Structure 1
Amino acid sequence: MNAVYESMAVLRAEMKRLAALLPEYEVVMAMQGAGDITGPKLMAEIGDVRRFTSKNALVAFAGVDAPPFQSGSFEAKSRHVSKRGSPHLRRTLFKVMSVVLQRGSADNPVYLFMDKKRAEGKHFYVYTVAGAAKFLRIYYARVKEYLLALEAERQTAA
């Protein structure tokens, strides 16, 4: 057991070291819910956010979006998440959402959104998935804005 624990610690340290080499590391680690393990996992699973055309594409990639279901004049009110994306990313997002709920603060928009959904009487799974989608939209905006600013800074320096 000790050998397994030590090898896990070595792997986690290497994962953190490699993630720290990425330009968006500081931005992701500043987000509430992204810790020493979940932050690098998020970056590894999502990859470069610039490959997504929009924030909705990232949410769809994670599989936490509800696909449309309609036929003629019928439109479904309640739908399940698509789960068409990465199951590893969904699992990491659920871990991040549990941290956000446990350590929720009044200045975290994801926590406030989830708390509002909880107050509306939504089921745990419903407001967790909605919070994960909101987290991804914020992640997309912050990381993409940072990378574009970094790219513009490099171009002006050159």
Structure 2
Amino acid sequence: MPLPPLTEATVRLGVSAADWRAAVRLSGDVLVASGSVSRGYPQRMVDVIEEFGAYVVIAPGLALAHARPGADVVENGLSLVTLESPVSFGHAHNDPVHVVIGIAVTTADVHVTGIADLANAFNDPDLVPALSAATDATTAIGLIESATARGAV
């Protein structure tokens, strides 16, 4: 089962986060609210970055926050959070981050392919600024759908 599409319920725009941990937890909280994951998952997302570094910051201004499949993942999930003010993850080239995509997957295969496919959508350098400027969920979802429809995913 691939990653689900974004919905108005899984998009939060212009939110405030004190730091990268808060930004990641916000994207995870959306996954909790959607029923994709249980409450422990957002902290696991933070733990991954604390252990392995800011590799989740895959493009200028963009982080794909996730953790490995686990018992706290109920179903594959996807969230989108844009930040009122960008935060630094400590990435040498792609900080500061304006957009955090939260990902939860049930299997290792979906983990690898889902993240790779989603990352390909962000080959368009205009996508992150456009998402950051979006003022409603419908616009943000349309931007992601358009990027994926261009054959990136």
Between Structure 1 and Structure 2, the one with more strand by share is: 2
Between Structure 1 and Structure 2, the one with more helix by share is: 1
| Bigger relative CO (Cα 8 Å, ≥ 6 apart) | 2
Larger Rg: 1
Same fold (TM over 0.5): no
* TM-score bracket for this pair, using the shorter chain length: under 0.3
